[in-house]
Amino acid sequence: MSVVVIGAGLSGLSAACHLVGRGHEVTLVERHDAAGGRGLRLRRDGFTFDTGPTVMTMPDLVGDALTAAGTSLHDALPMRLLDPAYRARFDDGSQILVRHGVEAMRQEIADTCGSVDAASFVDFVDWLRKLYRVEMPHFIDANFDSPLDLMANPRAAARLVRLGGFRRLGPVIRDWFRDERLHRLFSFQALYAGLSPENALALYAVITYMDSIEGVWWPEGGMDAVPAALATAASKAGADLRYGATVSRLVLDRRGAVAGLELESGERIRADAVVCTLDLPTAYEQLLPQLSAPRVVRSGSYSPSAVVWHVGARGLPAEGTAHHNIHFGSDWDGAFRALIDDRRLMPDPSRLVSVPSLTEPGLAPPGDSALYVLEPVPNLSAGIDWEREREPMRERLHGFLTANGYPDEVLTEELVTPLEWQQLGMHQGTPFSLAHTFLQTGPFRPGNLDRRVPGLVFAGSGTVPGVGVPMVLVSGKLAAERVDAYLPGPHHGRDTR
């Protein structure tokens, strides 16, 4: 049975690996000339930049896809653990390193915040582990057909309630720690889910577990090595990868079921099933114009976006700079209020600065630095005029680099705003898709099937389980399970699930 996957981002590559491992005949079509999706590579003036994700967590999920396609993480994608995972800088000039390993982090907290919080950290890790163990198999790595599926395993649901998963993240973290800096350090991850810690459910502390406890990794060569390894594995296992091929519409049979797709070139590719990884609103608009998208896709609440400034700069950063540096602004609650409630730029922004050339010097000419500066900003529903706002934003980011000990003589640069994310097909100009409010999570998130179109399966950040590298890798696997259920029969795959 032939399956076509649209999109060689991480979700599409994961789907392709899992599908080919299950014995399907797989074709993957990608409009760009390389794999990577949001995480494409930009090479300029001797500098190399990764344009999308930089914080790589849960490498075993990449490993699952690689194993499904007959190779392994160890063989195909060597990675280095980053310790510290982050250097957090606060407005009072202090800093806390997020160290790898419970003992190292306990000691760091003891040194910076005192013994009471250090002791709490050990129990906090235990709580995070329990949360992760109940959420991963039952609520993340799971296909849902209806909200009732939440109760498919009542014991798991009850356990999540007992662990406080349905309380709000902000207050839960405040219960664990006294030092306000730790509140920020262990709850800012809510923003990855498009929410403020005060609105995010405590179950999103699993993101904190994934980065602060399980660790942040660096794939040798750069983030781009992840899609490259998955693409190579899928191809070696027999998938046909076609780059420079833009899909213009899905072809349906008389029943309305998937029969294939048409490329912009006019070529048609037959398919028994299609896995589509476009942002959901764009998928409906461009590939299925005859159908209206589900309500939550059309009018749900979309996450804030981000401005990313890629800078090739002369010189090296100040001593003590880490690969990933989070600079917290002073007014924490005000920042979230501005960004999410009022939909305006944060008055005193928190920013992420990654300096991958510290870990991988080949990304910059000798003695220079490749910098990635990210500031969360409202998505396009805020009506900010980014044509006008670009230059002032660049100036502010430049001043911020200067003030914080980063090299600031710009040799080459690229500023990406919500306008560019929109041009790439991301609804409301956000690369982070639907926010993970309760009613846009799990069985309430747009599902990966549209019952009106048998044989069509979605993957990627707009569907289950959600946003971010670990989640979209899982979404690819969930999509492969859906295809298997739709196209039953012996596929003789090596993926044993």
Ligand X SMILES: Cc1cc2nc3c(=O)[nH]c(=O)nc-3n(C[C@H](O)[C@H](O)[C@H](O)COP(=O)(O)OP(=O)(O)OC[C@H]3O[C@@H](n4cnc5c(N)ncnc54)[C@H](O)[C@@H]3O)c2cc1C
Segment interacting with ligand X, rule: CB under 6 A, options 27-35, 64-72, 120-128, 336-344: 27-35
Determine how many CB atoms are found less than 10 A away from the CB of residue 289: 10
Q: Are strands 41-44 and 324-327 parallel, antiparallel or unpaired?
A: unpaired
Site string for ligand X, 298-337 (x = CB under 6 A): --------x-x-----------------------------
Closer of 47 and 217 to ligand X (Cβ): 217
Segment interacting with ligand X, rule: CB under 6 A, options 52-60, 181-189, 401-409, 484-492: 52-60
Instruction: Give the Cα separation of 176 and 29 in Å (integer).
Output: 47
Instruction: Give the Cα separation of 307 and 376 in Å (integer).
Output: 6
# residues contacting ligand X (CB under 6 A): 32
Instruction: Give the Cα separation of 230 and 219 in Å (integer).
Output: 13
Tokens found for residue 322:
């880490």
Site string for ligand X, 454-493 (x = CB under 6 A): ------xx-----xxx--x---------------------
Closer of 9 and 165 to ligand X (Cβ): 9
Of the residues 5, 247, 271, 456, which one makes contact with ligand X according to CB under 6 A:
247
The least CB distance from residue 458 to ligand X, in Å, is: 10
Instruction: Give the Cα separation of 94 and 10 in Å (integer).
Output: 37
Q: Does 234 bind ligand X (CB under 6 A)?
A: no
Q: Does 12 bind ligand X (CB under 6 A)?
A: yes
Determine how many CB atoms are found less than 10 A away from the CB of residue 198: 16
Segment interacting with ligand X, rule: CB under 6 A, options 51-59, 294-302, 363-371, 488-496: 51-59
Q: Does 194 bind ligand X (CB under 6 A)?
A: no
Cis peptide before 488 (omega within 30 of 0): no
Q: Does 30 bind ligand X (CB under 6 A)?
A: yes
Of the residues 21, 52, 281, 442, which one makes contact with ligand X according to CB under 6 A:
52
Torsion of CA 25, 252, 445, 69, to 10 degrees: 10
Burial of residue 307 (CB within 10 Å: 0-12, 13-18, 19+) is buried
Which SS3 state, helix, strand or coil, does residue 358 take? helix
Q: Does 356 bind ligand X (CB under 6 A)?
A: no
Q: Does 54 bind ligand X (CB under 6 A)?
A: yes
The least CB distance from residue 98 to ligand X, in Å, is: 14
The least CB distance from residue 489 to ligand X, in Å, is: 27
Q: Sign of the CA dihedral 119, 59, 203, 85?
A: positive
DSSP letter for each residue of 228-272: HHHHHHHHHTT-EEE-S--EEEEEE-TTS-EEEEEETTS-EEE-S
Site for ligand X in 366-425 (CB under 6 A): 425
Segment interacting with ligand X, rule: CB under 6 A, options 37-45, 96-104, 152-160, 292-300: 37-45
Q: Does 215 bind ligand X (CB under 6 A)?
A: no
Q: Does 169 bind ligand X (CB under 6 A)?
A: no
- 288 in Cβ contact with 386 (< 8 Å): no
Determine how many CB atoms are found less than 10 A away from the CB of residue 443: 18
Q: Does 39 bind ligand X (CB under 6 A)?
A: yes
Interface contacts to ligand X, rule CB under 6 A: 6-12, 29-32, 37-39, 52-55, 246-247, 277-278, 306, 308, 425, 431, 460-461, 467-469, 472
